[in-house]
């Protein structure tokens, strides 16, 4: 197949479209290659259940080749000037912008995102390449004030080496560009291992990096099925040629990678699971809170790491909030992403659909009240789930303690600010938190009191290239985006000039 355009038919919605930029080979050392074993695996459109394409099912042998290619390329890439790296990234950004619509179509085809959301992700993902093309020239060192007259002291920043980037399926472009943009800007080379569900977008990024003229071996993409993913990840963590790991995904996998990386004491950046609280206080503008709640909860069908997971509503306004968010949820149009009127697509795979339904049924059995939804949207397909609103939530329910990662809003009453913060912080996760209030002193108290890495204050959408993205506790270590994003891919070297 090589580079081609596949026809994707979403039969239930009687829709079809051409999917551009499709590759059926991996990208190693500037060449398009098959797995040494010759094995392939299929990529499925989660909306229709149809095969979108097939890609190489690579193993540790193939991964070692990619690592070596990145290692060889690093010997010259590390010596490029910041200006040169900036120009390469800018060219890549320009190519990505030129293919904006093609990339959005591909995301909808393999991730199931509604058309509008897919377009939004492409803009968001591209923004990281643009941002780091600019930040590449601002990776400064320091001149220190010497304590003696015979010494001068300088700090410089140097790239760590080969960076292994392991990315999830929920943002097929943005989770790669957020990492690769920073790594390339710092002077590192990359081996990208995308999620099994969404490898086609990663391969498209490889093709467009090639089109932009990035040197061979600087940006490599390897693909593998769930069967081979453990051995691929293990090698990336344990290979002495890999200097750092940047991973976005579940806390359980992040802990495993953390352990595997310890043998080489690698640089590690982990963006892991969340259990984000969304607090609405009595003083809040309820209409704005509802808008923010729906935007945070139902973007990508609830499949985002910063998605609101537990809605904490103050007692006085609880009933009114439930009424208004229920009405707003009824306007969500569920369907197939190629239908431009669709605002809510499918879950990524059948395992995720089963997990969401299990969490909802557990809550119902333990006394939760259903205001809306509560079951699969089986008329659309096996991976669709109705937007669901639950109240009467107790601590014994799975939805109280686990990240749902689906279109399910659980609402909990509270009486005081102290109670809200206690509930919000009663989790080992600490990625994002949100709250709505018009009490200015309360804004500062709660923002500082939430045990999370990021806080949305009267705002449900907080992600942007300019901001530092990351969590605390078991939600990870390190930061992505902002000028801090390059820190994960550089060492600080101290140079002391003596006998002057």
* 250 vs 272: CA distance, rounded Å: 5
Largest CA distance in the chain: 80
Write down the pLDDT at residue 340: 85
What's the pLDDT tens digit per position in 257-284?
999 999 999 999 999 999 999 999 999 9
Average pLDDT of span 108-136:
97
Pick 77 or 21 by higher pLDDT: 77
What's the pLDDT tens digit per position in 413-447?
999 999 999 999 999 999 999 999 999 999 999 99
365 CB-near residues (< 8 Å, 6+ apart): none
* 255 vs 278: CA distance, rounded Å: 26
- In terms of phi and psi (left: phi > 0; alpha: psi -120 to 50; beta: otherwise), the region of 471 is beta
Average pLDDT of span 106-120:
95
* 265 vs 255: CA distance, rounded Å: 14
Backbone angles phi, psi at 424, to 5 degrees: -60, -40
Output the pTM of the full model.
0.95
Q: Under DSSP, is residue 422 helix (H, G, I), strand (E, B) or coil?
A: helix
Tell me the two tokens of residue 236: 């990336």
Backbone angles phi, psi at 22, to 5 degrees: -80, 130
Tell me the two tokens of residue 10: 């979403």
431 touches 273 (CB < 8 A): yes
All domains of the chain, ordered by start, with CATH? 4-272+475-494 (3.40.605.10), 276-464 (3.40.309.10)
Write down the pLDDT at residue 21: 87
- State yes or no: pLDDT of 94 exceeds 60: yes
CA-based nearest residue to 342, from 396, 311, 384, 313: 384
**Lowest-confidence range among 48-52, 307-311, 427-431, 467-471?**
48-52
Share of the chain above pLDDT 90, in %: 94
Average pLDDT of span 14-39:
86
The residues annotated with a catalytic role in the active site are 271
Tell me the Cα Rg of the chain.
23
Write down the pLDDT at residue 18: 66
DSSP 81-130: -HHHHHHHHHHHHHHHHHTHHHHHHHHHHHH---HHHHHHHHHHHHHHHH
**CA 245 from centre of chain:** 15
* 51 vs 47: CA distance, rounded Å: 11
115 CB-near residues (< 8 Å, 6+ apart): 104, 108, 337, 338, 339, 340, 342
What's the pLDDT tens digit per position in 128-168?
999 999 999 999 999 999 999 999 999 999 999 999 999 99
- State yes or no: pLDDT of 11 exceeds 90: no
Strands (E), 332-403: 369-372, 388-391
411 touches 311 (CB < 8 A): yes
47 CB-near residues (< 8 Å, 6+ apart): 10, 12, 13, 112, 336, 337, 345, 346, 381, 383
Write down the pLDDT at residue 337: 87
């Amino acid at each position: 197949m090589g580079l081609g355009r596949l026809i994707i038919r979403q039969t239930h919605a009687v829709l079809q479209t051409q999917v551009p930029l499709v590759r059926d080979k991996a990208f190693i050392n500037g060449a398009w290659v098959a797995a040494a074993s010759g094995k392939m695996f299929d990529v499925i459109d989660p909306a229709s259940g149809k095969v979108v394409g097939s890609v190489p099912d690579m193993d540790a042998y193939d991964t070692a080749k990619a690592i070596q290619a990145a290692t060889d390329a690093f010997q010259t890439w590390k010596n490029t000037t910041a200006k040169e790296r900036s120009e390469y990234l800018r060219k890549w950004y320009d190519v990505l912008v030129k293919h904006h619509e093609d990339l959005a179509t591909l995301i909808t085809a393999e991730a199931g995102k509604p058309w509008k959301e897919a377009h939004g992700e492409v803009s968001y993902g591209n923004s990281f390449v643009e941002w780091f093309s600019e930040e590449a020239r601002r990776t400064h060192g320091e001149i220190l004030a010497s304590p003696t007259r015979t010494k001068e002291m300088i700090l410089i920043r140097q790239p760590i080496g080969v960076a292994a980037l392991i990315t999830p399926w929920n943002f097929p472009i943005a989770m790669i560009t957020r990492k690769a943009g920073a790594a390339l800007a710092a002077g590192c080379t990359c081996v990208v291992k995308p999620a099994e569900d969404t490898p086609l977008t990663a391969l498209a990024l490889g093709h467009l990096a090639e089109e932009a003229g990035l040197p061979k071996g600087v940006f490599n993409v390897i693909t593998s099925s769930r069967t081979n993913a453990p051995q691929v990840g293990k090698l990336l963590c344990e290979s002495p040629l890999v200097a750092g790991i940047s991973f976005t995904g579940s806390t359980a996998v992040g802990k495993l990678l953390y352990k595997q990386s310890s043998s080489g004491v690698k640089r590690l950046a982990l963006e892991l699971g969340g259990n984000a609280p969304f607090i609405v206080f009595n003083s809040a503008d309820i209409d704005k809170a509802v808008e923010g709640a729906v935007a945070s909860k139902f973007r990508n069908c609830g499949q985002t790491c910063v998605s609101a997971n537990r809605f904490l509503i103050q007692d006085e306004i609880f009933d009114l909030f439930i009424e208004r968010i229920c009405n707003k949820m009824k306007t969500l149009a569920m369907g197939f992403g190629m239908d431009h009127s669709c605002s809510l697509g499918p879950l990524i795979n059948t395992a995720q659909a089963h997990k969401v339904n299990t969490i909802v049924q557990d809550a119902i059995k333990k006394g939760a009240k259903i205001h809306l939804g509560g079951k699969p949207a089986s008329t659309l397909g096996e991976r669709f789930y109705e937007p669901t609103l639950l109240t009467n939530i107790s601590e014994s329910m799975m939805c109280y303690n686990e990240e749902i990662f689906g279109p399910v809003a659980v609402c909990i009453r509270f009486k005081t600010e102290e109670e809200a913060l206690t509930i919000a912080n009663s989790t080992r996760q600490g990625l994002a938190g949100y709250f709505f209030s018009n009490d200015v002193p309360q804004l500062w108290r709660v923002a500082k009191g939430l045990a999370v890495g990021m806080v949305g204050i009267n705002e449900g959408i907080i992600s942007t290239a300019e901001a530092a993205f990351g969590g605390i506790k078991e939600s990870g270590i390190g930061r992505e985006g902002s000028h801090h994003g390059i820190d994960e891919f550089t060492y600080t070297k101290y140079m002391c000039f003596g006998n002057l």
